[in-house]
Chains A and B, each alone.
Chain A
Amino acid sequence: MSTVAHPAAAVGHDGDENRFQIYVQIAMLLAVITGIEIVAIYIPLARWIIFGGLVVLSLVKFLFVIFYFMHLKWDKPFCTVLFMIGLAWGGGTAWALVLLARADASRPLTSPANEQAEVR
């Protein structure tokens, strides 16, 4: 017999109804956020504001999916820790690579910035 903390078992029948409503509401919210993202790219605001807004909105969508659809909110914390380790490792590697590539020394020789420097 298992002693797993199971989301469905934890909430009971009334909880199941609530869970159904939560899933539908979150899906609608995700659709609305996606709509906002699409509209946002056409708004004539400063680039950094749109960029920051898109990153925040994506993060909100990401967190809603992992904590509600993937049940991290109701599952054992170890699942969250395990996933976050991978996420931090992958995200950190990606961030480090992007920062590294922005350094002048690592620019590809075909980069426009290098070509301009050669012309000067």
Chain B
Amino acid sequence: MSSPAATVAIDHHHDHTTSTGIPNKKLLLWAFLASDCMFFGTLISTHLIYRLHPVPGGPDPRHIFSIELTSFSTFILLMSSLMMALAVNAIQKGNVRSMRASLLTTAFFGAIFVGCQVYEFHHFVMEKHLTISNSLFGSTFYTLTGTHGIHVSIGILWLMSMYFFSFKKGFSERNAVDVDSMGLYWHFVDIVWIVIFTAVYLLEFI
């Protein structure tokens, strides 16, 4: 929550704000994330509904999933969220070099996550013969996790764009709201995975 002292102390951030006192970019991001909640809500519920009514002879997720790989990629994504938070913290202090290092690490962790997902998909298709079109489970699983993977990939592109943009003359703590908005998106991708990891993967094993 904001304090009166905080309201006075942030004059050095020249952000365009709405009447709410929240920067336009940040408010836009929050509104987008709120709408994305609905998007992922429908994808997750679609998957769960078809899991509640499995088709006879359909694939058994327990024989398909590799909980070790998924746990590893979950851990990596959580650590990427930490690095993103540190990047935002660094730019708010005006430490651009530290922010660049944290951004690169975040993008690297994100790339590992996407790499794990590509490996997982390849393994499922080639070894387990689970494709997007040969079962309802495959259709909903690939649509949900693939959409999340696309979100992560967009986040990596955004991170790298911000990294290169940070070399532009004049980039300073005045750009904190840009990095902060990007951080919100990245953390959102993380919380969506927190739900997917439990709802799609872990619940299959109980």
Are A and B genuine complex partners?
Answer: yes
Chain A: residues with CB nearer than 8 A to chain B?
Answer: 1-10, 13, 16, 19-20, 23-24, 26-27, 30-31, 34, 37-38, 41-42, 47, 50-51, 54-55, 57-58, 61-62, 65-66, 68-71, 73-79, 82-83, 85-87, 89-91, 93-95, 97-98, 101-102, 107-108, 110-113, 115
Residue B133 lies at the interface, judged by CB distance under 8 Å to chain A: no
Interface residue tally for chain B (C-beta within 8 Å): 74
A38 CB, nearest partner CB in chain B, Å: 5
Q: Can you list 23 A-B contacts with CB-CB less than 8 angstroms, sorted by A residue number?
A: A6-B176, A8-B176, A27-B81, A34-B74, A37-B202, A38-B71, A42-B205, A61-B191, A65-B81, A69-B84, A78-B22, A79-B30, A82-B31, A82-B34, A83-B30, A86-B33, A86-B35, A89-B34, A89-B37, A91-B37, A94-B44, A97-B49, A102-B52
A-B contact count (CB 8 A): 214
> Which B residues lie at the A interface, using CB under 8 A?
1-3, 5-7, 9-17, 20-23, 26-27, 30-31, 33-42, 44-46, 48-49, 52-56, 67, 71, 74-75, 78-79, 81-82, 84-86, 89, 92-93, 176-177, 180, 183-184, 187-188, 190-191, 194-195, 197-198, 202-203, 205-206
> 4 new A-B pairs (CB below 8 Å) besides A16-B92, A76-B21, A86-B36?
A73-B1, A97-B45, A98-B52, A111-B55
